[in-house]
Amino acid sequence: MLLKVNGDSVEIDDGSNIDELLDMLEIPKTKVAVELNGVVIPNSELLGKALKDQDILEIVRAIGGG
């Protein structure tokens, strides 16, 4: 299936969830915020949140700085 992730097209296996997408993109699951179709998904729900073809995701990582 085809997703839009941070503005880029990404292909992933049918039936995948957000947790698997983060693994595929090599994004650590700590200090990350995920928005799915305009709704922020709590980290506790990343494993069970199934993705559908044409979903739109924004993934943001917290980075320390000064």
The CATH number of the domain holding residue 36 is 3.10.20.30
Is 66 within a domain? no
Question: Which structural domain range is residue 22 located in?
Answer: 2-61
The total number of structural domains that make up the chain: 1
Q: What is the DSSP string of 26-66?
A: T--STTEEEEETTEEEPGGGTTT-B--TT-EEEEEE-----
How do residues 11-63 score in pLDDT, each as one tens digit? 999 999 999 999 999 998 888 999 999 999 998 888 889 999 999 999 999 88
Is 49 within a domain? yes
pTM of this prediction?
0.88
Is 9 within a domain? yes
Is 25 within a domain? yes
